[in-house]
Structure 1
Amino acid sequence: MVQRRRRLLDVDTIVDASLACVDETGRLTMADLASRLGTSASAVYNHLSGRGAIIEALRERVVLAGMRIPPLDGTDWTGQLAAWMRSYRDALARHPRLIPLLTENTMTGGPVLRGYDRVAALLREAGVPAREVLLWISVLDSYALGAALDLAAPEAVWRDGDGELPALDEALRAAPGGPRRADEAFEIGLAALLTGLRHRLAAATGPVTG
């Protein structure tokens, strides 16, 4: 009798299969993952402690692979934040079905947290009070997540109103189509966020440099 060879497992193989599950189905269960790998859930646990650990490995794979971490080199802080936000949004948009899973899990991965530590340091250097740093990180994080979902949305997000919705119909006709709409909307919102932050800091402490 010929025995079927089991697929050799390692963390990268498990993460590859997990990402494929999420991209195809929008969910991640240990049963589905084990079936895709041709092994048992207990074999997966030998490499990653559970579903939460797998999601954090996915976060590290997807987000860190494309995210531009602020260099903290003394250059324009708004430019550094904008570059981080653009790269974050683009990385997430490649796997939009992963986003709901990321938001339900506590971030624990060292490399990911070090990236957020850089952002926190950049905000402090810009003059953001310590009490508001995490609040602004939450604002920026939420915006990047939503913008990534928008980039992955269907081209026709709103149907034509057939004359019954004149203001919306005018907006639909005037707006750029396809990915340009999502890109331009992201840039408008990003500029508004950063301008709002600069004005808030200026109102509290006087003119802000950078």
Structure 2
Amino acid sequence: MARPRKPLLSRDRIVTTALALIDEEGLAALSTRRLAAELGVSGPSLYNHFATKEAILDAAADTVVGRVDLSMFRDGRDWRGALLAWGRSYRAALTEHPRLVPYLAVGPGLRPAGLRMADAVFGGMVEAGWPPAQATRIGALMRYFVTGSALGSFAAGFVGDAAAYDPADYPHLGQAHLLARHREQVDEGAFETGLRALVDGLALQYAELGAGKDDAQGGAKGAAAE
């Protein structure tokens, strides 16, 4: 009997199936036994490609992060524009797989795509003139903001029944039953509002940082002239 042209299993097929299972049922549904059943293979055969379930999760997480655009940190864009563009791309990648976000939220660990993203953001901020400690904080706060926004929908948390929001109890929620109907508009608008506010706030700090440098240089020149 001729051998199949393609192997029954591959790392890509395992990761794709694992992501689909997580998307459908959540992180708790993923086990090597369940994954093997979905793939139609025996459990031990997975270990020819991945040593542990955690290794499969890491590969799935890195696949998602690997889709985040990082070109804005290399194309000469100013740091504000880079953060805005990166934040949008980062969130877009995560919202495709919201049930994986809790695993991604703990940080990159040793995952290559995650580390490349951290390196690009940190390097971009330092090259723009941010002190290294502050560049680290910027990367952290962006991760907090983006992962938090990708965990779930604010608008979808409200039911579509107007009777649920009795004005006697909730005088300001008369339109809350319409939120879920406009989920994308509400959630995308909230993210964009927050992202711009975050970057605008950083811009104020950046201006203060520049003013501090100017004051220090002016003082040094004055001392030298005395």
Specify the TM-score bucket, using the shorter chain as the normaliser.
Answer: 0.7 to 0.9
Which residue of 2 is the match for residue 192 of structure 1?
A: 197
- Looking at structure 2, the residues matched to 96 and 190 of structure 1 have their Cα atoms a distance apart, in angstroms, of 19
Which residue of 1 is the match for residue 76 of structure 2?
A: 74
Deviations 1:35-56 (A, max 9, x none): 2122233321211221222122
Q: Taking structure 1 as reference, are residues 139 and 166 closer, same or farther at Cα in structure 2, changes over 3 Å only? A: same
Deviations 1:149-187 (A, max 9, x none): 24xx374423553112223x1674897922100011001
Is 2:16 aligned against 1:12? no
Corresponding residue to 2:186 among 181, 184, 205:
181
Q: Taking structure 1 as reference, are residues 138 and 41 closer, same or farther at Cα in structure 2, changes over 3 Å only? A: farther
Secondary structure at 2:23 match in 1: helix
- Looking at structure 1, the residues matched to 121 and 143 of structure 2 have their Cα atoms a distance apart, in angstroms, of 11
Tell which deviates more after alignment, 17-26 or 169-178. 169-178
Which residue of 2 is the match for residue 124 of structure 1?
A: 126
Is 2:46 aligned against 1:44? yes
Q: Give 1 or 2 for the bigger CA radius of gyration.
A: 2
- Identical residues among aligned pairs (%): 34
Give the TM-score of the pair, scaled to structure 2.
0.77
Secondary structure at 1:35 match in 2: helix
Give the TM-score of the pair, scaled to structure 1.
0.83
Aligned length: 199
After superposing on structure 2, the runs of 4+ consecutive aligned residues of structure 1 that deviate more than 3 Å are: 170-176
> Which runs of 5 or more structure 1 residues have no equivalent in the other structure?
none
Q: Taking structure 1 as reference, are residues 121 and 38 closer, same or farther at Cα in structure 2, changes over 3 Å only? A: same
Which residue of 2 is the match for residue 92 of structure 1?
A: 94
1:87 to partner: Cα distance: 0.8
Which residue of 2 is the match for residue 205 of structure 1?
A: 210
Secondary structure at 1:192 match in 2: helix
Which residue of 2 is the match for residue 162 of structure 1?
A: 166
What is the RMSD computed on CA atoms of the aligned residues?
Answer: 2.7
Amino acid at match of 2:75: D
Are the aligned partners of 1:10 and 1:47 in contact in 2 as well (CA < 8 Å)? yes
- Looking at structure 1, the residues matched to 205 and 105 of structure 2 have their Cα atoms a distance apart, in angstroms, of 28
Secondary structure at 2:8 match in 1: coil
